[in-house]
Structure 1
Amino acid sequence: MRFQILDIIFNPPHPVTGDVVAPAERLNRVVEMAVLAEQLGIDSYSVGERHAGDVLSSSPIVVLGAIAQATERILLSTGVTVLSVLDPVRVAEDLCTVDQLSRGRLEIVIGKGNEVLQYPLFGLDIGKQYDYLTENYELLRRLLREEHVDWSGEYRAALADVTTLPRPFDGPFRIWHGSATSARAVDLAAKWGDPIVTANALQPRENYKVLIDRYREHYAAHGHDPAKAYVGSGSGGLFLADTTEKAIEEYRPIYEGAVRQADKRKHDPGAVGKTTSFRTIEEAVERGPALVGSPDRVAEKILDYHECFGHVLQSVSVNHVLDFERQKDTLRRFAEEVVPLVRAEVPPTTLWSESDTERARGFTADSPVGSR
């Protein structure tokens, strides 16, 4: 199994103390955590994108550019590139710049995003979010693969003889599709033979498994090699302590405070995937996606995910409200104590190996951490 750290760069007030981390400090912590992740042998570091709310990830490409210059080996990713609200020409230019700066260490995840306020902000109709996603993806795909592109669509001006610069470092980088609530995202991935990352963050895992099963079925129906139907999984946050009981008690005020903060948004109760289905820390740990507990318990839970999803990439997020030294210690313990336990039980994956011909060419972690 491969492992990724994801930071959406949330920066609300601390749910217990009300303290706020200065934006410059929060952003520089992202870069520092990426450097540490590389040192620890984590395969990939992913930066989210949102354009509303208490988040600092409105310009993930800039952050990835900083990480590219601070690191040498780790694969860079997005989680997700909110392609529904973006211009594919600009996206191609920005992403290929990072691909060049990192010398071919970029893969991305695309999606429509999980923030409803982004659509009015960009003057777009949220009812057409998947239509935008489909059209923008299919244009982006061509721009990365072709030069002198002629194109016309429904939602942006036509293109004539367009070649975006810079070009990708060594051929088009892999595009994953983020999947959380809708069949349309997995159907788009299956049509084009792309991998998916299931959010696995706010709902019971059974809800995500339905979409994963649909993806694999449609992927094969389109004639693609099932061996390349890679699936990644997110999680509901990572918090480690020596015992699971201690982890739950330490994390309880943070989790309950975060639920209260989310409640203030007053999402439509019928809006699936906007708020957590698990109101208490006990529910989140026992039945939900939260990776809270001892290293042994967290490894066991990831293996439970694997039994359900059959995924080959596990993405985790270290809670940003922890003291920064605690964040770094959590990442170290995850790499040194959890990852080896998981890899000892899961068969090796071809993802990002030498045999994976579509991998980011600059990625060199062919002997992943925890596999020795």
Structure 2
Amino acid sequence: MQFGIFSVGDVTLDPTNGRMPTEAERIKAIVQIARHAEEVGLDVFATGEHHNPPFYPSSPTTLLGYIGAQTERLILSTTTTLITTNDPVKIAEDFAMLQHLVDGRTDLVLGRGNTAPVYPWFGKNPHDALELTIENYALLRRLWDEDVVDWSGKFRTPLHNFTATPRPLDGVAPFVWHGSIRTPQIAELAAYYGDGFFANNIFWPKEHYIRLINLYRERYEHYGHGKAHQAIVGLGGQFFMRRNSQDAVREFRPYFDNAPVYGHGPSLEDFTSQTPLTVGSPAEFVEKTLAFRDYFGDYQRQLFLVDHAGLPLKTVLDQLDLLGEVLPELKAGFEAGRPADVPEGPTHAALLERKASPEPAEAQAPAEAHAEAEAAK
């Protein structure tokens, strides 16, 4: 089981003092946060991708490469790499380059994003989002898996005798998760390829994500990649902890009430009762997090959002210290009773081992998979 943190990269006013950090301060802060994540024993750091204010992470691989040079063990990932508006050639080359620089400590979450205006900024139509996702990912896989690619499609110019460089490290492409908060077709796509499915369940009730994850698990087995309980699942979550739960609620409330992602909606109490957000003591956080397995089954990766809503850097680092303290208890809790045939979280070493002893699997043609994805609507 892998534990880590992710950042959406917001630049948000601190409601307790009225101070707005600069983009430079937030960018420098996230590097320090990532380094501290490794220091407290976490396994993964992930960043979002945005191309509009109030967010800064427009170039995830640049940020991850810089962090990679200052860490030794941390897996460096994304929470959304925009498969719809990024050129698959650029994704293939950027992440292969990152692979080499950090000795394989990288993977990525592909998604469509949730900002419709980004599509025309990059010459795309938001109405084509699902078709772009399917076509672009099919090309991305070929660019990583084949040394020479001839390709033509609907949404970009053809490729003739093309080789993406550098080639993936050790001939093994980075592990891919497909991220979605509402779209069954993405769960279907992840299952078809035998990739991971990342459900960033930070805003909606668990019942919504249970349906998506169960669909992915069922289709993963359908496509012959393994049993449903062996499918590769990742979850999002968030917390704010203090030693005393009342102190946590009192301190976090102004951030919750005013942050663009939370404010002016449900109350803090309603939100914590309906979503994975924990605001309370370390013991309350551990209890609620361990319950995720009851809802979603055994899974491989748990990421938490901690540096959002205008929280100052010192507070975020304090949160990481508390997470580090309870991390052994979380790991032990998730390991207890875990079936031996449930895979561990993906790593470059594990992918190399799998490449050395592949298991044959029958899969449908992409057109058939797309038809089944449409039927899953």
> TM-score interval w.r.t. the shorter chain?
0.7 to 0.9
Q: 1:244 Cα deviation (Å)?
A: 2.0
Counterpart in the other structure of 1:316 = 304
- SS at structure 1 position matched to 2:330: helix
2:300 and 2:345 in contact (8 A); partners too: no
The share of aligned pairs that are identical, in percent, is 35
Counterpart in the other structure of 1:332 = 321
Counterpart in the other structure of 1:234 = 236
Counterpart in the other structure of 2:290 = 303
Q: 1:157 to 1:353 in 2, by over 3 A?
A: closer
Q: 1:356 Cα deviation (Å)?
A: 7.1
Q: 1:16 Cα deviation (Å)?
A: 4.7
Count of aligned pairs: 345
Counterpart in the other structure of 1:102 = 102
2:199 and 2:235 in contact (8 A); partners too: yes
Counterpart in the other structure of 2:60 = 60
Given residue 292 of structure 1, which amino acid in structure 2 is its aligned partner? V
Distance of 2:295 and 2:151 partners within structure 1: 41
Counterpart in the other structure of 1:350 = 343
- SS at structure 2 position matched to 1:358: helix
Distance of 2:260 and 2:161 partners within structure 1: 50
Counterpart in the other structure of 2:366 = none
Matches within 5 A, 1:247-286: 247-259=248-260, 279-286=266-273
Counterpart in the other structure of 1:367 = none
Given residue 257 of structure 1, which amino acid in structure 2 is its aligned partner? N
Given residue 306 of structure 2, which amino acid in structure 1 is its aligned partner? V
Q: 1:13 Cα deviation (Å)?
A: 2.4
Distance of 2:6 and 2:190 partners within structure 1: 21
Q: 1:46 to 1:355 in 2, by over 3 A?
A: closer
2:204 and 2:274 in contact (8 A); partners too: no
Q: Which runs of 5+ in 2 are unaligned?
A: 355-377
- SS at structure 1 position matched to 2:73: coil
Are 1:294 and 2:281 an aligned pair? yes
Q: 1:134 Cα deviation (Å)?
A: 1.0
1:134 and 1:188 in contact (8 A); partners too: yes
Task: Spell out structure 1 runs of 4+ moving beyond 3 A.
Answer: 15-18, 259-263, 352-356
Distance of 1:291 and 1:9 partners within structure 2: 21
Distance of 1:355 and 1:216 partners within structure 2: 23
Counterpart in the other structure of 1:47 = 47
Q: 1:145 Cα deviation (Å)?
A: 1.2
1:7 and 1:46 in contact (8 A); partners too: yes
Counterpart in the other structure of 2:118 = 118
Q: 1:166 Cα deviation (Å)?
A: 1.0
Counterpart in the other structure of 2:201 = 200
Matches within 5 A, 1:9-24: 9-24=9-24
Counterpart in the other structure of 1:179 = 180
Superposition CA RMSD, Å: 2.1
**Range 195-204 or range 116-125, more displaced:** 116-125
Question: Alpha-carbon deviations, 1:203-240, whole Å to 9, x = none?
Answer: 111111110010011111111112641111001x3211
Q: 1:151 to 1:353 in 2, by over 3 A?
A: closer
Q: 1:223 to 1:261 in 2, by over 3 A?
A: closer
2:232 and 2:343 in contact (8 A); partners too: no
- TM-score (structure 2 length as normaliser): 0.86
Distance of 2:216 and 2:344 partners within structure 1: 18
Q: 1:301 Cα deviation (Å)?
A: 1.1
2:104 and 2:348 in contact (8 A); partners too: no
Distance of 1:30 and 1:300 partners within structure 2: 28
